[in-house]
Amino acid sequence: MSLNISNCPRCGKIFARGMKDICPACVKDIDLEYEICVKYLRENKGATIHDVSNETKVSIKQITKFIKEGRISLYNMPNLSYPCEICGMVIREGGMCDDCRKRLAKDVNSINEQDRARKEEELRRKQAQTYRTIDKK
C-alpha cells in the first residue's frame, strides 16, 4: 500500500493526500474564512463581494469559490455577485456571463461548421478521383 504524498497548492507544505486536495491546516483556515464571511454577510445583507473581501480580508477568489460550492447563498444577498471567469463582468450564476456564453457558443458552432465543410470537401475529392488504365495488347 502506497501513501499518496502531495504538496498543498495553497501553502506548499507536504501532506498525506486523502479526501481533500489541500492540507489539514489550510482546510481549517478556509473553514475559518468561511465563518468570518458568513458572519459578516449576516450583519451586512447589502454587501458586495468587494465589501466582504475588504472587511474580512478573504480573497474574492475564495469568496467566489464559497458561492460556487453552495456554501454561501445569494438568495437574500441582492448586491452579492462574483466575476465572470472570462471577462470579469459581475454575475450571479454559472461561471460565465451571457455575452461570453454566447460568444463561446458562436465560436463552437463556427468550428463545427468549418469541420463539417472540410469533411465534405475531402469526400468530394475522394469521389472525384479517377484511375486511368491502358489496355496493352
Q: Residue 126's pLDDT is what? A: 81
Q: Residue 123's pLDDT is what? A: 87
Q: Residue 124's pLDDT is what? A: 85
**63: three-class secondary structure by DSSP:** helix
Q: Residue 136's pLDDT is what? A: 72
Residue 14: all three cell numbers together: 507536504
Q: Residue 104's pLDDT is what? A: 94
For the chain, which residues score pLDDT lower than 70? 1-2, 130-132, 137
| Residue 48 CB partners (closer than 8 Å, separation 6+) | 79, 80, 81
Count of C-beta atoms within a 10 Å radius of residue 51: 15
